[in-house]
Amino acid sequence: MPAAEALNLRARATAPWGEERATALLVLEDGTVIEGMGAGAVGIAVGEVCFNTAMTGYQEILTDPSYAGQIITFTFPHIGNVGTNTEDIETASLAAASGVRGCVLKAPITRASNYRAAQEFEDWLKARGIIAITGVDTRALTALIREKGMPNAVIAHAPNGKFDLAALKRELAAFPGMVGLDLAKDVTSGQSYSWDETEWRWSEGYGHESNPRFHVVAIDYGLKRNILRELATAGCKLTVLPATATAEEVLARKPDGVFLSNGPGDPAATGVYAVPEIRKLVDSGLPVFGICLGHQMLGLALGGTTRKMHQGHHGANHPVKDFTTGKVEITSMNHGFAVDRDSLPANVEETHVSLFDGSNCGLKVKDKPVFSVQYHPEASPGPQDSHYLFKRFVALMEEKKGKS
């Protein structure tokens, strides 16, 4: 039996609503139609389907701008059971949503049971315009993605259970896919702003950096709040600029260092306007630190290339080896493109590698204070295995200041 047909049958066989009419569909580009019950926003959305293996942090995941243009399949079955709150939102811009197109869930959403819950997950999804489908055999869908790669799909929620399948397929056919897609422009902040909020502490909440030692300009390609918090906790005052900021605009702020943020889409597409500016920043001699999309575009700026991955890395259990220390970190990842290590020039050293598939996860320039990583060191699956990278960035700024 073809994988698509098997998935279709398994999804229907495990449907928790019995003979009740399905109120949501997930239609894959190979023609597979998966039925389920709708949740969250009503409507249709088109995107690339990926799977995320994290067992916690669904609110952070769904507000991570790096997921713009994607439909997230959660492999953990109980999503929404702790509700939502106002603190665990990752998008740093003022936009209402991060750009995620939808989510696919195994179990129906239950009522929240957590002391931090301020809003039910169902209501939160509606408020942010995110469509969800529940009752799906997410293990079968994950197996299909592992076998065939991340498919494009259309997700639809109609409370009356009436769908125009032909119209949904036309919507799907019009979606260009992630290759060649610049999504940073859709999730970046429209203006510059300052940031001094530090990391969350038990019983204290978020603090503020009142005596910063360094000034960092962060370029927002889809920036996550917790990255800013970790930089502030490390003693930095932050000025955030939009993705289209020029090197001249960055340098005019007279920073001690430059941060290149995470973000969604194809790095080569965003790099059309960002990479020439990154090259100028590298040539300025300032310390530069990149994460995720920032890492990929730094690789391009240094002369390397990037490639689309088969299934990407999405989860909070990814082991990465740091060649500079010999240690292995448990990391959080979210990316569908990777830097091709074989394309990197001789003056660029690979510093980190994924122990899942051997793909590149970090680099540094041998003769400049410039480095980057593919994963998210601000997250805490290790729980703090990767926080040293912020200290490494600060050390480079300290060294630069000492020489000037």
Q: How far apart are alpha carbons 202 and 205 in whole angstroms?
A: 6
Is 292 tagged catalytic?
yes
Tokens matching residue 307: 């490639």
Tokens matching residue 220: 């927002």
Q: How far, in Å, are 46, 251, 278, 284, 370 from residue 248 at the CA level? A: 37, 5, 11, 10, 18
To which H or E segment does residue 337 belong? strand 327-339
Tokens matching residue 263: 């973000």
The single residue of 90, 122, 329, 378 carrying the catalytic annotation is: 378
Q: How far apart are alpha carbons 324 and 331 in whole angstroms?
A: 16
The single residue of 295, 314, 376, 387 carrying the catalytic annotation is: 376
Q: How far, in Å, are 141, 162, 318 from residue 173 at the CA level? A: 20, 20, 33
Is 378 tagged catalytic?
yes
Q: How far, in Å, are 277, 380, 400 from residue 351 at the CA level? A: 24, 20, 21
Q: How far, in Å, are 63, 139, 225, 375, 386 from residue 359 at the CA level? A: 26, 24, 26, 11, 18
Is 295 tagged catalytic?
no
Tokens matching residue 3: 């994988």
Tell me phi and psi for residue 183, to 5 degrees.
Answer: -105, -10
The single residue of 236, 292, 313, 352 carrying the catalytic annotation is: 292
Sheet strands (E) in 128-191: 131-134, 152-157
Catalytic residues: 292, 376, 378
